[in-house]
Structure 1
Amino acid sequence: MTEPLRLSKRMAELGLCSRREADDWISKGWVRVDGAVVDVLGSKVLPQQKITVDRRASAEQAQRVTVLLNKPVGYVSGQAEDGYPPAVTLVGADSRWPRDPSPLRFHPSQLRSLVPAGRLDIDSVGLLVLTQDGRIARHLIGEDSTVDKEYLVRVQYARPGRLPERDLKLLNHGLSLDGKPLRPAVVRWQNDDQLSFVLREGRKRQIRRMCEAVGLKVLGLKRVRIGGVRLGSLPPGQWRYLGPDERF
């Protein structure tokens, strides 16, 4: 017999919204299960039951924005820490990329609940996604996410000679961090001192630790792509809206 699931979890599994959004909609009476309103948090459903949401929920969701930022060095992805400002402080009318093709107008209300979908270290730069849409956040950083991310990494070999081919193969598959094996990656040389990394996971300081494991020192790290969305010519410290035709 199939076990019942929390309604909010089931809604997230179906891609309707995030679990936090689901709880909000449930409490507002915007969720129906088999046609009946369910407004009690923690309610459970069976997988075969039909879940629908009020059009007010869909309208609210449509107003949520997703921002692409070229994060410079010196900013943290999330909450401020150790005196470093959060990346969201770079999002404002004055720092919007003048070539942003989106017809959307910036309003300070768009900063509410604008959270990073993934992280970049203080000393890393490049594409950072900030979103109000829980579906996008879950798609990019959920446990079952399969979205790949591409980085350009400038390195210096700490030993005589050049990185052996066997160690390049280890970077592609065979390394572990904190006792857990890493998923296969695609790592290849771009030029004499720069590697391209394509990953489908994002453990803390993962690329730097992978490089350290084979004797490479990271001199610079830049994220240039997340799924089908590229950093392109977006300047450092500027941002633009995710376009309606762009897909991660």
Structure 2
Amino acid sequence: MTTLKLKPGAAAPSKTPGKSPVRRADPAKRSRTSAPEYVKAPRVEIAEAKPAPAVQAERKPRPAPAKPGAAKPAAKRESHQAVAANKKPYAKKEERPRQFADRDTPRRGGKARDGFEQGTFNQDRNTNPKFSPKPAPSQPELPRLSKRMAELGLCSRREADDFIANGWVTVNGEVVDVLGTRVAPDAEIKVSKEAQKHQSEIVTILLHKPVGYVSGQAEDGYEPAVVLVNPENHWDEDPTQIVFKRGHLRGLAPAGRLDIDSTGLLVLTQDGRVARQLIGEDSTTEKEYLVRVTGTLSEDGLKKLNFGLSLDGVKLKPAKVSWQNEDQLRFVLREGRKRQIRRMCELVGLTVVGLKRVRIGSVVLGKLPVGTWRYLRPGERF
């Protein structure tokens, strides 16, 4: 409800007869003291039509249900046959006409501005090469350039990708800077001076690992052997005379493992070529160990150590095992399975009490003291 407030000084409605009130009644609005016209109109009532009484049909007695296996009446059987004869059999799926066969809309996209050609897309993709299937790589049987460079010993595959991306590789005299390029096996591959300079800046370190350090990542509270690579542990008689830099630790990783209970030569390198040579799938580099053992070894057991043992269901490669002295064996292996020597000795009744690696390829441990390290010499090869 709206309340009307009068301004100050406005006269109140006069009660004197003959004077008009302040607010006159609006003739367009209905009076609140009288009923509206539609209420005053007489109400006409429509009588409801009663449904006509249904004529009750004469009920016929229901026939008794037929016994199982009894023949149907002849009249009903004939009527079913007539209905079945008039029905048209459904057409087979392959005989039905294809829906929207006359329409030739593109399968994906469908816009002419995108290059679809009406009337040819669904029939022959060769007529619209823009949306034809991606062609298969040419000559997929040829090796990739990075793999071929690693096989030739120019660098590792990871380094090869960097060299190719930098434009430092030429194939038959032409620069190749596209990753994944395939080359012929007899192609002439060369790397530029920039790549050779980059390789000369990376280092390989030889460490005499003591017992109690792990080769790789720290585990079970034991420190990795790389923590020993610092200026304090640098061998004073290092023939390379290379000055230690913090950059020599960047990307330095072990090329092969040496158990926590073992000591001897451990290789840490930034050079992918060295890592591939020592721990690659096709590596044939020899590793020599001196192993102190307890127990009795028969002639047959010594033959099995040389060849005939299996670990985890895989037969081991031939090894060279011989007596170094009365309690020490000399092992020369061409593979590096986990705790391989210790497990081999257990299979023939021996217990390993000491293990030391003294040679990897043509690089020997020599006079390098325990816990110290040196750089691999420029002309030194594994």
TM-score of the superposition, structure 2-length normalised? Answer: 0.62
Mapped partners of 1:48, 1:228: distance in 2: 30
Distance verdict in 2 for CA 1:244–1:126, change over 3 Å: same
State which structure, 1 or 2, has the greater radius of gyration over its C-alpha atoms: 2
Structure 1 or 2: more strand by fraction: 1
In structure 2, the partner of 1:114 is: 252
TM-superposed deviation, 1:102: 1.4
Question: Mind listing any 5+ residue stretches in structure 2 that lack a counterpart?
Answer: 1-138
The question of 1:191 aligning with 2:325 is answered: yes
TM-superposed deviation, 1:117: 1.2
TM-superposed deviation, 1:82: 2.3
The question of 1:219 aligning with 2:353 is answered: yes
164-173 or 43-52, which moves further after superposition? 43-52
In structure 1, the partner of 2:180 is: 42
Mapped partners of 1:145, 1:85: distance in 2: 28
Amino acid at match of 1:245: G
3-state secondary structure, aligned to 2:233: coil
Mapped partners of 1:48, 1:109: distance in 2: 37
Of the candidates 179, 200, 213, which is equivalent to residue 334 of structure 2? 200
Give deviations 1:153-172, integer Å, cap 9, x for gaps.
11111xxxx31111011101
Of the candidates 301, 305, 311, which is equivalent to residue 167 of structure 1? 301
The question of 1:85 aligning with 2:230 is answered: no
In structure 1, the partner of 2:195 is: 57
Mapped partners of 1:131, 1:243: distance in 2: 13
Of the candidates 5, 13, 16, which is equivalent to residue 151 of structure 2? 13
Give deviations 1:27-58, integer Å, cap 9, x for gaps.
22212222332222222222122222121001
Mapped partners of 1:169, 1:2: distance in 2: 46
3-state secondary structure, aligned to 2:232: coil
Contact preservation (8 Å) 1:33, 1:52: yes
Q: Percent identity?
A: 68
Give deviations 1:193-225, integer Å, cap 9, x for gaps.
211101111111110110111111111111001
In structure 1, the partner of 2:71 is: none
Mapped partners of 1:184, 1:22: distance in 2: 33
Across the two proteins, how many residue pairs are aligned to each other? Answer: 244
In structure 2, the partner of 1:67 is: 205
Contact preservation (8 Å) 1:2, 1:46: no
3-state secondary structure, aligned to 1:5: coil
TM-score of the superposition, structure 1-length normalised? Answer: 0.94
TM-superposed deviation, 1:2: 8.8
In structure 1, the partner of 2:289 is: 151
Amino acid at match of 2:254: P
The question of 1:26 aligning with 2:164 is answered: yes
Q: CA RMSD in A?
A: 1.5
In the TM superposition, what are the counterparts of 1:119-158 in structure 2 within 5 Å?
Answer: 119-157=257-295
Contact preservation (8 Å) 1:229, 1:247: yes
Mapped partners of 1:2, 1:46: distance in 2: 11
80-89 or 69-78, which moves further after superposition? 80-89
In structure 2, the partner of 1:232 is: 366
TM-superposed deviation, 1:191: 1.7
| RCO comparison, higher one (Cα < 8 Å, 6+) | 1
Mapped partners of 1:90, 1:190: distance in 2: 30
Mapped partners of 1:150, 1:8: distance in 2: 32
Amino acid at match of 1:130: L
Mapped partners of 2:302, 2:154: distance in 1: 41
Mapped partners of 1:78, 1:44: distance in 2: 35
In structure 1, the partner of 2:233 is: 95
